């Protein structure tokens, strides 16, 4: 795989420098067979440094996770060597089993089968709260 | 089928409707004494709270219904590791409505998502206790005849005091309410609530001194400074006596001040205040039963 050119796949650009590895794990890219490039600390005009992830296969991205982990990223979808779509993911309204409630008094701390669900309660500040105990998700 | 988990689940109209029903029950109790015949209320108390449980049970009995249930986890299936969801699914086969108290925050919410019958949150840890707030609202309505244009003093533990937080939420929906928050620095209303109040344009002030603000209050809501909220015994002992209401302090208060307290008290209100006509905290207890009656009727959709 040449890092600069993919024929069918996804390029996640403008990842905050240092966040690339976190996204890599959140998107479960470690379990994929195709070629994947994680570029760290690439020079960027507007960000100084940035991370980039390139995946050489058409895949369904969990945009909720992307939007939550780093809402500043740019997603480029490439098909037959052509950029067909480019967008910025939004902060999702709801996160299910992406982050864990850390409140030791929350019912999710004693009952393992309960899904951890967070709702966006303040889009401006990107605040998520557990739907059960209303604790803020830790940054 | 609806449940009551958080006081904000109820609209202003629904609260008015519950209060109207409760007032009608108080005026005409005989009209209601058969309303829940052959219906069962289950009280599932995963942590003990005798007062709240008795209030729910008395409410159901006065409606002509029956009561089953358990108290405290150590002698129930929950102690053997059964989930809240399984417990309510099981109990929902026997009972028509469930009042649940649980030490973990959000447990009644999970229960309401899985239960075949309505769930009433009877307190989930330090989180919500909507029927206490309903009792407070009924008391304010009966004593003051209104919710708008009141100056409401909140005194004591405003940091952990969930009853205070829900009361602020509930009263913030009415016009012209001014909150006076009286607490030691360590037990101030949490920052996020202050921000919320500022954002919503709610009128408030904060003070360390009860005496200073006493003359302006229409309502004085006292709270207990609880030992279990402190990590450090010395902090508790230093703070617990800071905000005690005595007859002396009441001297500058309005003649029609309404003094409230969620009970049980330790020593936040001296016993001498009990005989003052402004003491409303035992009325709050009896109002609690009537508003729970109204709530049971509403959730069971009994006409
Ligand atoms: Zn939680």
Structure confidence by residue, pLDDT tens digits, B195-206: 999 999 999 999
In a domain, B48, yes or no: yes
Structural domain count of chain B: 2
Q: Are residues B115 and B138 in the same domain?
A: no
Whether ipTM exceeds 0.95: no
Mean pLDDT, chain B, rounded, equals 93
Q: Are residues B82 and B26 in the same domain?
A: yes
pLDDT beyond 60 at B72: yes
* Per-residue pLDDT at B81: 73
* Per-residue pLDDT at B226: 73
Is B160 in contact with B219 (CB distance < 8 Å)?
no
In a domain, B160, yes or no: yes
Active site (annotated) includes residue B298: no
Per-residue confidence at B66, pLDDT binned at 50, 70, 90? very high
* Per-residue pLDDT at A61: 75
Q: Are residues B18 and B47 in the same domain?
A: yes
CB contact under 8 A, A111 and B127: no
* Per-residue pLDDT at B110: 96
- Predicted confidence (pLDDT) per residue in B149-171, tens digit: 999 999 998 998 889 999 999 99
Domain that holds residue B56: 7-128+285-299
Tell me whether residue B89 is exposed, middle or buried, using C-beta atoms within 10 angstroms of its C-beta: 0 to 12, 13 to 18, 19 or more.
Answer: middle
* Per-residue pLDDT at A64: 76
**Could you say which of A109, A110, A132 has the minimum Cβ distance to residue B109?**
A132
* Per-residue pLDDT at B240: 67
* Per-residue pLDDT at A90: 86
Q: Are residues B18 and B28 in the same domain?
A: yes
Residue B112 and residue B32: Cα distance in Å, rounded? 27
Which chain A residues have any C-beta within 8 angstroms of a chain B C-beta? 103, 105-111, 113-114, 130-136
CATH number of B119's domain: 3.40.50.1370
In a domain, B143, yes or no: yes
What is the mean pLDDT, run by run of 10 residues, along chain A of 139 residues? 72 92 88 89 91 87 80 90 89 90 94 93 89 87
* Per-residue pLDDT at A1: 45
Q: Are residues B267 and B199 in the same domain?
A: yes
In a domain, B225, yes or no: yes
* Per-residue pLDDT at B184: 84
In a domain, B2, yes or no: no
In a domain, B1, yes or no: no
* Per-residue pLDDT at A98: 87
How confident is the model over B24-42, as a mean pLDDT?
98
Q: Are residues B107 and B49 in the same domain?
A: yes
Residue B139 and residue B259: Cα distance in Å, rounded? 10
* Closest approach of A20 to chain B, Cα-based (Å): 32
Q: Are residues B154 and B246 in the same domain?
A: yes
| Domains of chain A (ranges, CATH numbers) | 9-87 (3.30.70.140), 94-130 (no CATH)
Q: Are residues B111 and B147 in the same domain?
A: no
CB contact under 8 A, B84 and A130: no
How confident is the model over B16-34, as a mean pLDDT?
98
pLDDT beyond 70 at B74: no
């Amino acid at each position: 795989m040449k890092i600069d050119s993919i024929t069918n796949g996804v390029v996640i650009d403008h990842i905050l420098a240092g966040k690339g590895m976190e996204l890599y794990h959140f998107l479960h890219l470690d379990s994929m067979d195709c070629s994947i490039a994680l570029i760290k600390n690439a020079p960027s005009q507007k960000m100084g440094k940035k991370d980039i992830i390139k995946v050489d296969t058409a895949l369904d991205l969990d945009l909720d996770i992307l939007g939550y982990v780093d809402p500043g990223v740019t997603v480029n979808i490439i098909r037959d060597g052509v950029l067909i779509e480019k967008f910025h993911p939004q902060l999702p309204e709801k996160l299910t089993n992406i982050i864990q409630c850390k409140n030791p008094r929350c019912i999710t701390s004693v009952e393992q089968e309960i899904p951890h669900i967070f709702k966006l309660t303040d889009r401006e500040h990107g605040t998520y709260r557990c739907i059960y105990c209303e604790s803020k998700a830790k940054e | 089928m609806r449940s009551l988990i958080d006081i904000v689940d109820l609209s202003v109209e629904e609260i008015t409707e519950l209060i109207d029903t409760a007032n009608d029950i108080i005026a005409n109790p005989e009209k209601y004494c058969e309303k829940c015949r052959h219906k069962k209320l289950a009280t599932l108390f995963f942590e003990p709270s005798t007062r709240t449980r008795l209030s729910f049970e008395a409410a159901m009995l006065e409606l002509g219904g029956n009561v089953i249930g358990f108290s405290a986890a150590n002698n129930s299936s929950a102690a053997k590791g059964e989930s809240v969801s399984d417990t309510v699914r099981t109990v929902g086969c026997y009972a028509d409505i469930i009042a649940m108290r649980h030490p973990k925050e959000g447990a009644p919410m999970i229960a309401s998502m899985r239960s075949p019958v309505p769930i009433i949150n009877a307190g989930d840890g330090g989180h919500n206790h909507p029927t206490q707030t309903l009792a407070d609202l009924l008391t304010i309505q009966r004593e003051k005849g209104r919710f708008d244009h009141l100056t409401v003093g909140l005194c004591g533990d405003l940091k952990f005091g969930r009853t205070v937080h829900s009361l602020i939420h509930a009263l913030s929906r009415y016009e012209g309410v001014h909150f006076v928050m009286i607490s030691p620095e360590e037990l101030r209303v949490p920052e996020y609530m202050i921000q919320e109040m500022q954002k919503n344009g709610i009128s408030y002030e904060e003070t360390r001194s009860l005496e200073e603000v006493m003359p302006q209050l229409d309502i004085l809501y006292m709270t207990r400074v609880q030992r279990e909220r402190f990590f450090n015994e010395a902090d508790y002992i230093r703070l617990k006596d800071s905000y005690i209401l005595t007859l002396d302090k009441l001297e500058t208060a309005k003649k029609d001040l309404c003094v409230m307290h969620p009970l049980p008290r330790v020593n936040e209100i001296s016993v001498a205040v009990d005989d003052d006509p402004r003491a409303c905290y035992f009325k709050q207890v009896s109002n609690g039963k009537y508003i729970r009656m109204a709530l049971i009727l509403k959730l069971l959709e009994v006409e």
